[in-house]
Each structure stands twice: as structure tokens, then as C-alpha cells.
Amino acid sequence: MSQIHKRFTTEQVKELFERYERTELERKYIQEILGIRRRRFFVLLKQYKENPKSFSIRYERNTPPRISPDIEQNILKELSVEKEIIQNPAIPLKSYNYSYIKDRLKGKNRQQVSLTTIIKRAKKHGFYLKKPKRSLHDRELLTRYVGQLIQHDSSHHLWAPAAQEKWYLITSLDDYSRFLLYAVLVKKETSWTHILALQTVILRHGLPYTYYVDSHSIFRFVQGRDSLWRKHHLLTDEATPQWKQVLADCNVQVIHSLSPQARGKIERPYGWLQDRLIRTCVREEVTEIQQAQKILNQECHRYNYRQVHSTTQEIPYFRFQKALKQKQSLFREFTIKPPFQSVKDIFCLRMDRTVDPYRKISVSNLQFKVHANPGKQVNLRFYPLNNQITEIRFWCERKLIDVHKIKTSDFPAVHF
């Protein structure tokens, strides 16, 4: 119940005590009227009896401010940095994040400050913006199992303004638990970077039922209509991109979203990661992608293991593990299908070549002698071992006929 001085005047309370002194009202009725307990009643009665004329219920705070000058200074310092970030047109952030400031003060400076205190200081010193009204999305995918649907996407932003270079954030999210399965920053987005994401998720958790992606050219071949200048021979989905071929070998389905609104679950974690990652990179003056990746790993750990999700009202990791224990999972064990012999034969880039009369095939001006008859088609599977060396595995008629290790720089036509 609210405080007495906010609901009654001093004269009204004095009148009740006067009637109590004259035995016109019993104590329990005065307690019910004032909304106080027995102990509080006798404290007030004692004050009234000591000096009825000067008795007052008016509340005056005599205690000093609860936060120290150091904390006050740090709050204003963090708010000033926030303002600089918002005013920078190159940074995709348009609002203050007071929860981030609270967590940063607690983590870096070991200063415990309430969110209300930070917001009050922000309003008082002009560090406050009203949040824009968000449009509601009416398309939402509902799942009942972990592994039923993995939302996968990338986002291109200036994550570390001091680096003066935009990077790609590739992320995979389990739809049911909201558990982030993969989050990596890369300088260049290629089919191979997304295949690496597939390899990491599948080898660690197993084969999911479905992957949910947009219609980016890495995930889907989409052809426009014929024009006066060009006649299209392949229609949409008649060509299979490299990334999709990997999932076909794994017997995993692919669903393509038709709008950003339909991808709300992956966009919200992106917004959360983007917000905190950029703010930390600005404060730490990050210039290298390796530094930014360390910060991203910390924020992903916070999201997965410490933060209660606003929709599920559960921490993503514990929701994920609970579903696994209750057999509420559509993840399947990953096995290499015959005739393939290694994960390098599955999570790779592919290319077909025809054997010439000299039993050779050509790739990027390089010729390879192969153990196959002229006219046969050979399927080449490229697997980068590191930034310098790529392993090529030659397959013909469901048999591994050769393996070569070549410098990656010798294949300019293959985008790793």
C-alpha cells in the first residue's frame, strides 16, 4: 500500500488519534483506515502524544544521494559515448541502451546501479530519446521441437567503426529454444563461409529437419523474366547453389522466407547482438576482426546462458537442453553416406569437369591427370584445409579416383 502522507493529511490522522484517545475508535479500525500494521500504529501514536501540536506525517528525505560521485561520473561518461554513437551516421544505432550501460558498469567497473537511476540521469542531462513505435509482424513460425527449424542468415554492418570496414555476421538460431548455434564475423561472404556454418552446426548438434533462409543468391537461384537483350534458359530453383547441394547430401530440407517480417525471430537476436557488439567495439576501439569476434563470443554467451528470452521466458540454453532430455528433438545423427568417405566430401564446394582424350581435366588453367576414361564426367570437391592450401577430391562413377593438395591462390575462379 502507498505511503500515509500520499493518502492522508496530517489533520486527518490527528483526528483519528484524538478519537482513539477518547475511546471513540478502536485501534484495529484505525489501522485498517490508514493501511498500517500494529507496530507502525504505535510509533505514530507515540509521536502524537509527545507533541500533538507539532505532529506531522509529512515525509522529508534527509539521507544523502545513494550513488557516489564516481558512479555518477561513470554514468554520464557512458551516456556521452552513447550520444556520440547515435549521432554518427555511419553507425546503424538510433537509440540509447540503458540496460547495456547498467551491465557495463557492473561488469567493467564493478558498480551496481539500478536501471531507473540511469534513466533518471539520462532524462536530467538530455541523454534521452523516445523509442520509435515498432510495427507488429503477423507472420510467425511455430515449432515444437529443437532441430525442427534452424533460422540462418547474415548481416552486413559497420560492427567496429574504428576499423572503417564493414564485416558480415553469419548466424544460425534454433527456432524453438532461440539458442544461437553459430555466430561468426567474416570479412567476405561466400558460399564457403556459409558451408562452414553448416559443418559446425551439423557436426556439433546433428542434422536438423529444416533450414530457414532468405532468397539470397547463396541460398537460392532466382531468375528474372526474359528481356529484349537476354533469353533465360534456367528458371527459379532449376539450378542448385553450392550451399543447397550440401544440405541435399545431408537430406535436410530448405525453406525460403518471402519477407523480412516472416523472419522476426532471427532479426530480434540480430538486433540484440548488433546493438551490444557495436557499442562495445566503439568503447574498446576495436580495429581488428579477431578482437570483434572475442566480444561477439562474450555477447553470445550472455545471450545463450544468462539472459531470459522475452518470448519463451526461459534461458535459451536451458530450454534447448530440457527439450533434448525430454526427447523433444528432431536432430538426427550425422553419418557419411556411401560412397563418400569423409566430411570433406560433404561440406565442400563442387565442380564438374569432363575428361579430355589425354585423360586430363582443366581447372583455372591448371591441368590434372586423372585415372578415368576420356569423356567421363569427374566431380571435383574442394575443401580448404587453411588459408593457403585446398584439398581437391576427384570422384568418378561413385569412386574416389584421386586427391590433390594445391595452393588456394591457384584457383581464382573458386570463391572460398
For the stretch 49-67, pLDDT in tens is: 988 888 888 765 555 556 7
- Mean pLDDT, residues 370-392 taken together: 93
**Average pLDDT of the chain to the nearest whole number:** 86
Does position 167 have pLDDT exceeding 70, yes or no?
A: yes
Distance CA 150, CA 86 (A): 33
Range with the lowest mean pLDDT among 1-10, 60-69, 298-307? 60-69
Higher pLDDT, 309 or 212: 212
Say what the pLDDT of residue 361 is: 94
Write down the domain spans for the chain.
4-50, 69-124, 150-224+234-325, 343-410
Say what the pLDDT of residue 409 is: 84
pLDDT tens for 264-292 read 555 566 677 888 999 999 999 999 999 99
Say what the pLDDT of residue 225 is: 45
pLDDT tens for 315-364 read 999 999 999 999 999 999 999 989 999 999 999 999 999 999 999 999 88
Report residue 213's pLDDT band, with 50, 70 and 90 as the boundaries. very high
Does position 259 have pLDDT exceeding 70, yes or no?
A: no
Which residues share a beta bridge with 403? 393
Can you give the pTM of this predicted structure? 0.75
CATH number of this structure's domain 150-224+234-325, picked from the four choices 3.30.420.10, 3.40.50.2000, 3.40.50.300, 3.30.300.30 = 3.30.420.10
Higher pLDDT, 211 or 66: 211
Say what the pLDDT of residue 133 is: 65
Report residue 1's pLDDT band, with 50, 70 and 90 as the boundaries. very low
% of residues, the chain, pLDDT over 90: 48
- Mean pLDDT, residues 233-244 taken together: 70
Report residue 129's pLDDT band, with 50, 70 and 90 as the boundaries. confident
C-alpha cell recorded at residue 15: 483526528
pLDDT tens for 57-98 read 876 555 555 678 888 899 999 999 989 888 888 887 888 889
